[in-house]
Amino acid sequence: MQYDMIIVGSGSVGSAAGYYAAKAGTKVLMIDSGVPPHKDASHHGVTRIFRCAYGEGAHYVPLVLRAKQLWKELGEISGKEVLKQCGVLNLAPKDSRFMANIQKCVQQFNLKAETLSPEKVHERWAGITAPEDYAAVFESDAGVLNTELAIGAYVKLSKEAGAEQLFNTVVTAVKPIENGVEVETSVGKFRSRKALVSAGTWVRKLFPEMPIQPLRKTFVWHNAPEIYKNIPGFVITHKSHSYYGFPSDGIGLKVGKHNGGQYMQSLDEFLPYGAVAEDKTELLECLGAFLRGAGEAVHGEVCSYDMSPDSNFIIDVVPNIPNVMVVSGLSGHGFKFTSALGEVAALFGGGKESPIDLSAFRLSRFKKSSQL
């Protein structure tokens, strides 16, 4: 059967693309190696931070503002609290590039945000402390995304909109053919006019030239008193390290370290939490400096990042295969964007371009090096 679009990897980006494409009347086949949402992907772990005042750079903001609109719509359509707007607190040294970028985004895009002193932060949220030389920006309408509710909703809605779904199926190759693409799987071959490859960590199994490196990461829940139930989500820069966390839930206070981790060459290296010595020590400095009321670790899990060389996204067609779009290199900070990225891919499947400027995410930025 001939499709308009085949989606390889139907998790974070792929499930959204499936919904928006099918809703637009595109004949879609969604393929995934598991049944999304699942634990063998970057979206695992229930929650992700959503923020628009973006320390990684202002070029991300138009995309994340569109994502915000789409997350709200998804919540209304599905009846699920996909985005909980509990606010996000950004803490970083006053003279840091990260804080300068946040303040630039607030001003340039007129974001709803409040600058606080460390003293005011502690007055408002007694469980959080910060050094005197730190600045704080509180983004009140940011918050926390429930990854599994979001993907589950997109998968359900895409099927209702007419997308076909082929799960628990491994894709072994994506090849150009005349006027389209052929996707080889463990159950047969399928053809389409276009394809999206949003295969996350292991995209190089299909396209070895992609400058992506899989990275094993952990996040941990800690015992915490009641005061941590009403804190905002948070992002903390400390001594060249970056941390993030969430209001305490039924398990505890969830905290993770954004940088660090272990690069992987195969799934055999995707070890469970606790198998690497630093799993249980990498958060101690952050907890001691900023979250002093947090107690011992009660539960830890792992996920994977698909790292690009510069930690910026890759949103482009595959070299020499113009009918195939790849969305990868989300580098551990991409889930908040995935509703909008799915829309971008759906437009591609329908022969249209996104009105958002995506030039900063093209593969051409790597051509001057040996990375592509």
Hey, where are the domains in the chain? 2-43+148-212+311-366, 88-140+213-305
**Has this prediction a pTM greater than 0.85?**
yes
Residue 6's DSSP bridge partners are 29, 195
d(CA 270, CA 241): 22
Question: Nearest-CA neighbor of 296 among 193, 203, 220?
Answer: 220
222-232 pLDDT, tens per residue?
A: 999 999 999 99
Residue 35 in tokens: 């049944």
Sheet strands (E) in 37-108 = 47-50, 83-84, 88-93
Cα–Cα dist 18/345, whole Å: 9
Instruction: Dig out the tokens for 154 from the structure.
Output: 């997109």
Dist CA 168 CA 191 (whole Å): 19
For position 367, what pLDDT does the model report? 82
- The torsion region of residue 331 among left (phi > 0), alpha (psi -120 to 50) and beta comes to left
Architecture per CATH, domain 2-43+148-212+311-366, reads as: 3-Layer(bba) Sandwich (3.50)
Q: What is the pLDDT of residue 250?
A: 87
Are residues 175 and 181 in contact, defined by beta-carbon separation less than 8 angstroms?
Answer: yes
> Residue 45: its pLDDT value, please?
76
Per the listing, tokens 């099927």 go with: 159
Q: What is the pLDDT of residue 38?
A: 82
H-type helices in 141-267, by residue range?
A: 147-160
What's the mean per-residue pLDDT of the chain?
95
Strand partners, 180: 177
Compute the distance between CA of residue 363 and CA of residue 253 in angstroms, rounded to an integer. Answer: 38
**Cis peptide leading into residue 214 (ω within 30°):** no
Low-confidence ranges of the chain (pLDDT < 50): 370
- What gap in Å lies between CA 107 and CA 333, rounded to an integer? 22
Catalytic residue numbers read 44, 47-48, 254, 258, 303, 336
φ, ψ of residue 170 to 5 degrees: the values are -90, 130
CATH of range 88-140+213-305; options 3.50.50.60, 3.40.80.10, 3.30.360.10, 3.30.9.10: 3.30.9.10
Strand order in the sheet with 83-84: 47-50, 143-146, 83-84
